[in-house]
Amino acid sequence: MTNEAPAMEQLIGREYEHGFITDVESETLPPGLNEDVIRHISGKKNEPAFMLEWRLRAYNQWLTMVAPDWAKLRHPPLDLQAISYYSAPKGGGKKLESLDEVDPEILETYKKLGIPLEEQKLLANVAVDAVFDSVSVVTTFKKTLAKAGVIFCSISEAVQEHPELVQQYLGSVVSQKDNYFAALNAAVFSDGTFVYIPKGVRCPMELSTYFRINQANTGQFERTLIIAEAGSHVSYLEGCTAPSRDENQLHAAVVELIALEDATIKYSTVQNWYPGDREGRGGIYNFVTKRGDCRGDRSRISWTQVETGSAITWKYPSCILRGNDSIGEFYSVAVTRGMQQADTGTKMIHIGRNTSSTIVSKGISAVQGSNAYRGLVRVGQKAANARNHTQCDSLLIGDQCSAHTYPYIEVRNPSAKVEHEATTSKIGEDQLFYCRQRGLSAEEAIALIVNGFCKEVFKELPLEFAAEAQKLLNVTLEGAVG
Amino acid sequence: MLSIKNLHAGVDNTPILKGLNLEIGAGEVHAIMGPNGSGKSTLAHVLTGRDGYQVSAGDVLFNNELINDFTVEQRAHLGIFLAMQYPVELPGVNNMIFLKESLNRILQARNEAPLDAVGFIKRVNEVARKVNMDPALLKRNVNSGFSGGEKKRNEIFQMALLEPKLAILDETDSGLDIDALRIVSEGVNALRDRSRSMIIVTHYQRLLDYIEPDFVHVLAGGRIIRSGDKTLALELEDKGYSWLLDEVAA
């Protein structure tokens, strides 16, 4: 037949949409890492002494550590002396009173990305913190939120204005010495988001942070800290993109969530960092430590992630179920195509009594993508009646990709109930032919299968973003068709 | 309706069909029989336009339109339907959602208005009654966990829903027990219509006891070597293919 269908490869090999570079004057530190660099970052941010000491302790800890290599990932050794640890648009770092003071080029960038920062143009119910390279450029709806007592600002601002909260909670979930990248982040983190929800408050709008890496040869080390006091409720979403560059760039973030009694934190991520080109050149190394602490009884932390970008993704958003009757949830869609690699999953650490956790992981591998689910469910001695249900599904598109599952289960209490289910399925030429014979195009067929596969996770996303995520996934997998 | 002229086609550069001619009129049911490897399934797939099957010479005309270069979905939109020998599972895709997408694509291609959810469900229920399909199967994912018989019934159900002009049944009888064969055949017979043509590819005469063809063709060596009415099938059942092959060779 001459009527060649679009080959699998073409279908899923579409170009990255957000790869443009913003031409903005930046102040970037020369590459390299030493104590002076840390002092410089801390000084730039006008930090109190405790913060600098904290950073230096982390740095000294980091010097004694080695990069982990146990995950199923391949990459050349990282040269951490070759990247710059601080880059800010000129004039950044100082506090801006209104949007008019933000460089128009940067506003334009966010507009192109579909995130207008003018409050009247934003989704009515979503407040945004926009982080550009190492600094937060603007946070919207601050006043509306302040009325409810909610603090939503950049972490730099929080260090200055709410040092007592920062000092009390920073590093209390992910300690400085937790792992190599967490220690590095603690030493050099430049910006990120801070959220504080007071007792009994239901946050009146969705909170979100939009991360953009722009400068070449820089790393982004953001730090996010969310504290939900007793009986409060918050839903938070982060989105990420970066320009297409030939070099790899490091993104080593740390996210800490603290939920006190009866509090609920819902944390959603739509990650679309630049994945590198078809040959595997460039792309973001997304090495992230995310952990939530269900510190209070009946607290609940829910992670939802849609991971479509990055050359390499290494992250395990976890829940420490310390409070009795606390609940941890992890819903994940991870897509790898081209030469992308992902090693992602979660840890559910059951400590309190009657704790329960749910894990739903959907891995999609296409072309030569490699996708690994790695998850730990640990039930401690005192965690009577702990419950876990894990559902771990892999979808393979084409015949050169791979999916791997590494579930670790450790149970030290005889009353625990732990379930693990796993499936692997494939979209091959057979499936596409079947759908096309019934009148669907190949693109429609893939979208149908992928959306069916992911629907359990998409329904967990905030309504405003579910459609967005579905669309992103479809373009990621379908060529130019949306 | 369908006119195949001197068709030469193959897979992976191996020629399989070598000058096949076939004329099918509206409303006619043609059975294609033949020994293993004679090219029956290849013919079925070539007619759908499946990738990997190359046409090196000859023409396929559908309602007087040359469709050699049409894609799989374009042919589906014209009303060509293949009931597959091995229907595949579509993981995570609900049968109803799949059928609604499929039906609406085909209605669109016919310049008819797509059905909304209510209209669609009504249509599905009508068709399910007509071909005796268990509605519980429709709530599951496409073919997933279906028995061999259930998969084949789902194919016939889809055919009834999509109302094709040309239905090709590729060894629909394979893997069916007698009861399932009867139910599937009843479904097919319910769809016989003056405007709908059918090609029934089968190894065995048994299926033709249930679905009575207007014409029977014997395919061997990539060509049709004998055509006749249903008595030809009975003769084949009785004597096998070898006498015919010898006769052609002589």
Task: Say whether residue A425 is in contact with chain B using an 8 A CB cutoff.
Answer: yes
**Model confidence, pTM:** 0.79
pLDDT at site A320:
97
CATH code of residue B105: 3.40.50.300
| Residue B249 CB burial class (10 angstroms; 0-12, 13-18, ≥19) | exposed
Is pLDDT larger for residue A406 or for residue A79? A406
Q: Does the structure show a pLDDT above 60 at A155?
A: yes
Q: Is the pLDDT of residue A390 over 90?
A: yes
Contacts of A444 in chain B (CB under 8 A): 101, 105
A429 touches chain B (CB under 8 A): yes
| Contact with chain B for residue A437, Cβ under 8 A | yes
Answer yes or no: is pLDDT of A215 > 80.
Answer: no
pLDDT of residue A246: 64
Q: At what angle do helices A49-63 and A180-188 cross, to 10 degrees?
A: 150
Q: Is the pLDDT of residue A414 over 90?
A: yes
Of the ranges A76-90, A230-244, A413-427, the best mean pLDDT one? A413-427
* More confidently predicted of A226 and A97: A226
Confidence class of residue A7 from pLDDT cuts 50, 70 and 90?
very low
Q: What pLDDT does residue A209 have?
A: 81
Residue B155 CB contacts under 8 Å (≥ 6 apart), including other chains: B83, B84, B87, B172
Cβ of A439 under 8 Å from any chain B Cβ?
yes
Query: Is the CB of B70 less than 8 angstroms away from the CB of A440?
Result: no
What is the CB neighbour count within 10 angstroms for residue A429?
A: 17
Q: Find which of A434, A470, A473 to mutate to test the B interface (most B CBs within 10 Å of its CB).
A: A434
What is the pLDDT, as a whole number, of residue A5? 36
Split at pLDDT 50, 70, 90, the class of A122 is low
Secondary structure, 3-state, chain A: CCCCCCCHHHHCCCCCCCCCCCCCCEEECCCCCCHHHHHHHHHHCCCCHHHHHHHHHHHHHHHCCCCCCCCCCCCCCCCCCCCECCEEECCCCCCCCCHHHCCHHHHHHHHHCCCCCCHHHCCCCEEEEEEECCEEEEECCHHHHHHCCCEEEEHHHHHHHCHHHHHHHCCCCCCCCCCHHHHHHHHHCCECEEEEECCCCECCCEEEEEEECCCCCECECEEEEEEECCCCEEEEEEEEECCCCCCEEEECCEEEEEECCCCEEEEEEEECCCCCCCCCCCEEEEEEEEEEEECCCCCEEEEEEEECCCCEEEECCEEEECCCCCEEEEEEEEEECCCCEEEEEEEEEECCCCCEEEEEEEEEEECCCEEEEEEEEEECCCCCCCEEEEEEEEEEECCCCEEEEEEEEEECCCCCEEEEEEEEEEECHHHHHHHHHCCCCHHHHHHHHHHHHHHHHHCCCCHHHHHHHHHHHHHHHHCCCC
Give the mean model confidence (pLDDT) for residues A119-130: 60
Number of domains in chain B: 1
Amino acid at A321: L
**Partners of residue B48 in chain A, C-beta under 8 Å:** 433, 437
The position carrying tokens 């390299």 is A32
A145 vs A108, which has greater pLDDT? A145
More confident residue, A8 or B205: B205
CB proximity A449 to B under 8 Å: yes
Higher pLDDT, B157 or A369: B157
A10-19, A27-36, A329-338: range with lowest mean pLDDT: A10-19
Interchain contact, A423 vs B91, CB within 8 Å: yes
Q: Calculate mean pLDDT across residues B180-191.
A: 88
Q: What distance in Å separates the CA atoms of residue B47 and residue A480, rounded to the nearest whole number?
A: 29
Q: What is the pLDDT of residue B36?
A: 85
Please name which of A285, A356, A289 lies closest in space to residue A316, comparing C-alpha atoms. A289
Q: What is the mean pLDDT of residues A133-138?
A: 62
- Quote the domain boundaries for residue B118: 2-249
State the pLDDT at residue A341.
Answer: 85
Mean pLDDT of A311-319: 90
- pLDDT at residue B217 above 80? yes
Q: Do A431 and B90 touch (CB under 8 A)?
A: yes
pLDDT recorded at residue A134: 58
Whether pLDDT at B88 is above 50: yes
B10-36, pLDDT tens digit by residue? 998 899 999 999 999 999 999 999 888
- Model pLDDT for residues A66-105, shown as the tens digit of each residue: 888 877 778 788 788 888 888 776 654 455 556 666 677 7
Per-residue confidence at B165, pLDDT binned at 50, 70, 90?
very high
Please give the average per-residue pLDDT across A215-232, as a whole number: 85
Residue A349 has pLDDT above 90, yes or no: yes
| Min Cα–Cα distance to chain B from A346, Å | 23
Task: For residue B75, give how far its alpha carbon lies from the nearest alpha carbon of chain A (Å).
Answer: 8
Asked if pLDDT for residue A6 goes beyond 60, the answer is: no
Compute the nearest-CA separation of A340 from chain B (Å): 23
Report, as an integer, the average pLDDT of B228-244.
87
Q: Does A422 touch chain B (CB under 8 A)?
A: no
